[in-house]
Amino acid sequence: MTLFTHLECHECGAHYDPKQLQRFCPVDNQPLEAKYDCKKAPDKNVLKDRSWDMWRYREMLPVFDDAHIVSLGEGMSPLLQANNLDYGFSNLYIKDEGQNPTGSFKARGLSMAISKAKELGVKVSSIPTAGNAGSALSAYGAKAGMTIHAYMPKQTPEVFQIDCGITGAKVNTIEGNISDAGKQMRADMQDDWWDVTTLKEPYRLEGKKTMGYEIAEQMQWKLPDVILYPTGGGTGLIGIWKAFKEMLEMGWIEDIPTRMVAVQIEQCNPIVQAFENNDSGSFPYENPGVTIANGLRVPHAFGHKLILKTLYESKGTAIDVSDEEMHRGISELAKAEGLFVSPEGAAVWEAAKKLLDQGWIKEEESVVLLNTGSAYKYIENMR
Ligand SMILES: Cc1ncc(COP(=O)(O)O)c(C=O)c1O
Ligand SMILES: [Zn+2]
């Protein structure tokens, strides 16, 4: 049922065997992308009879055998029209990813990663996490009967430690940021551990890209002018753009007018800095300050180059916001739209307002904000 053919390095184009476990391209240390035989794609009308979850795009997902799919009902989150926010936008939408299993969009990526890991015989998986990815990996790992090791910064809200633990994961809290958690994980790793670190494993991206398919389908195959995405590791941003290009190749959409915006936080904005300085190389950023948006405290994304490539290709931009602004955004979205969003979701709303004020977004343009997570996981950050 899948049209998946092989894995390919986005940088040097080398091909990798999809029947084996693969991580990233060892030649240039860059992420691999799953490639599909788009010429054989069905008409998009086939979707009308499909399940109401991310697996409806089955041909463009990399699992070979349906028996290996590990699902908790992820995807097909609502795309809500935000017409009460009185700021000047006439076509504003919020895709509410907080309604996914385990309360965030991370469910998509980890459902896919665990399904592929199961298909390829993995029994133990490990992850450095800012919280949401750990919750999702632990839940899908439990469903798949795998052992999970989650490494998270000490500052991660306690609920993430609790839900990872309760689903049976082994939880390690680490002094420092998510890069430090990754270092500790690699020091502890045994031969049979499968590392699902963002973009060092090729299939989380394939789960996250389904947000792009859904946005297209929910907007009747006419893509928005602007998408704002809270960017840590960047998988969703890269994935949505990948989905758009695949859909264009399959003839599901006619064009891609969308400008992609990476939203970061003032305390940790390596993509904003690199974008402004036109630097596509790596940009290590030491010791970021604490924030209420734990998912955006990523000092060095492994997918740094791919994130920038997406911004340049889409004629997008990168912008940062403060914790104070996110607090205000949470309150505004709750009062006007009845949505209790994660700090990361509030960040994109605050960024959208700034870009409208600057004239970068025009009032009549269609704009999609990604609320990537539920606020209920962050209660202790909101007091
Ligand atoms: C709620 C939330 N939003 C955004 C992000 C950043 O996502 P990505 O790593 O795909 O850029 C995270 C990562 O932990 C998150 O938990
Ligand atoms: Zn390569």
pLDDT digits over 115-174, tens only?
A: 999 999 999 999 999 999 999 999 999 999 999 999 999 999 999 999 999 999 999 999
Whole-number Å distance, alpha carbon 129 to ligand 1 midpoint, is 9
Please say which residue of 138, 162, 195 terminates a domain.
195
Residue-wise pLDDT tens digits, 7-45: 999 999 999 999 999 999 999 999 999 999 999 999 999
Residue 28 lies in a domain: yes
Q: Domain boundary at 161, 195, 229, which? A: 195
Angle of the 158-166 helix axis to the 132-144 helix axis, nearest 10: 10
The pairing of strands 32-36 and 4-9 is antiparallel
Determine the distance separating the centroid of ligand 2 and the alpha carbon of 16, expressed in angstroms. 10
Question: Which pLDDT band, with edges at 50, 70 and 90, does 102 fall under?
Answer: very high
Q: What is the mean pLDDT of the chain?
A: 96
Nearest-ligand number for the alpha carbon of 12: 2
- Which domain-ending residue is among 145, 160, 195? 195
Same domain, 136 and 230: no
Tokens in use for 149?
């090791």
Query: Looking at the structure, do residues 47 and 93 belong to the same domain, yes or no?
Result: no
pLDDT: which is higher, 300 or 260: 260
279 shares its domain with 181: no
Residues with CB under 6 A from ligand 1: 104, 130, 132-133, 198, 230-236, 295, 342, 344, 372-373
Q: What is the CATH number of the domain that holds 125?
A: 3.40.50.1100
Which ligand lies nearest the alpha carbon of 233?
1
pLDDT at residue 95 in the model:
98
Q: Whose CA is nearest to atom 16 of ligand 1?
A: 295
pLDDT-based confidence at 82, cuts 50/70/90?
very high
89 shares a domain with 179: no
| Mode of pairing for the β-strands spanning 79-81 and 91-96 | antiparallel
pLDDT digits (tens, 9 = 90+) for 363-383: 999 999 999 999 999 999 988
d(CA 302, CA 200): 7
**pLDDT surpassing 70 at residue 281:** no
Q: Minimum-distance ligand to the CA of 31?
A: 2
Beta strands in 66-175 (DSSP E): 79-81, 91-96, 124-128, 147-153, 170-174
Q: 331 and 357, same structural domain? A: yes
Q: How far apart are CA 236 and CA 228, in angstroms?
A: 11
CA-nearest residue, atom 14 of ligand 1: 295
Q: What is the pTM of this model?
A: 0.97
CA-198 nearest atom, ligand 1: 9
- Could you give the CA distance from residue 351 to residue 260 in angstroms, rounded to a whole number? 12
Question: Would you state the pLDDT for residue 316?
Answer: 98
pLDDT at 76 over 80: yes
Measured in Å, residue 373 CA sits from the centre of ligand 1 at 8
Position 284 pLDDT exceeds 80: no
Do the domain assignments include residue 181?
yes
Domain holding 29, by residue range, is: 4-68
Task: Give the nearest ligand 1 atom to 234 CA.
Answer: 11
Ligand 1 pocket, mutate which of 104, 129, 378 (most atoms under 8 A from CB): 104
| Domain shared by 327 and 299, yes or no | yes
Question: Do 245 and 366 fall within a single domain?
Answer: yes
249 lies in the same domain as 311 = yes
Claim to verify: residue 273 and residue 315 sit in the same structural domain: yes
Q: Closest ligand 1 atom to the C-alpha of 231?
A: 11
Domain assignment present for residue 74? The answer is no
CA-301 nearest atom, ligand 1: 9
pLDDT band at 285, cuts 50/70/90? Answer: low
Buried b (16+ CB within 10 A) or exposed e, 144-164: bebbbbbbbbebbbebbbebb
Residues 256 and 227 in one domain: yes
Is 133 domain-assigned?
yes
287-326 CB burial, b ≥16 within 10 A, e <16: ebeebbbbbbbbbbbbbbbbbbbbbeebebbbbbbebebb
Provide the pLDDT for residue 282. Answer: 59
Among 35-49, 110-124, 274-288, 321-335, name the one with the lowest average pLDDT.
274-288
The answer as to whether 156 is a domain residue is: yes
Distance 104 CA to ligand 1 centre (A): 9
Distance 234 CA to ligand 1 centre (A): 8
Indicate if 41 and 176 belong to the same structural domain: no
Q: Does residue 361 share a domain with residue 225?
A: yes
How much is the pLDDT for 289? 86
Q: If pLDDT is split at 50, 70 and 90, which confidence band does 287 have?
A: confident
b/e string for 14-47 if b means 16 or more Cβ within 10 A? Answer: eebebeeebbbbeeeebbbbbbbebeebeebeee
251 contact partners, CB below 8 Å, separation of at least 6: 41
- Give the per-residue pLDDT at 339: 97
Q: Please give the average per-residue pLDDT across 300-326, as a whole number.
A: 96
pLDDT in tens, 164-196: 999 999 999 999 999 999 999 999 999 999 999
Per-residue pLDDT band for 283 (boundaries 50, 70, 90) equals low
Shortest-distance Cα residue to atom 12 of ligand 1 = 295
SS3 330: helix
**Which listed ligand is nearest to 9 at the C-alpha?**
2
Question: How far does the centroid of ligand 2 lie from the alpha carbon of residue 238, in Å?
Answer: 17
Mutate to test the pocket of ligand 1, among 152, 231, 344 (most ligand atoms within 8 A of CB): 344
Q: Which atom of ligand 1 is nearest to the CA of 344?
A: 3
Over range 300-320, report the average pLDDT. 96
Report which secondary-structure segment, H or E, holds 304: helix 304-313
The residue whose CB lies within 8 Å of the most ligand 1 atoms, and thus the one to mutate among 99, 102, 106, 302, is 106
CA of 185 to the centre of ligand 1 (A): 19
Q: How many domains does the chain have?
A: 3
- Would residue 73 count as lying in a domain? no
Provide long-range contacts, Cβ within 8 A and 24+ apart, for 352-360: 352/89, 352/92, 352/226, 352/228, 353/87, 354/319, 354/321, 355/226, 355/228, 355/261, 355/317, 355/319, 356/87, 356/88, 356/89, 360/317
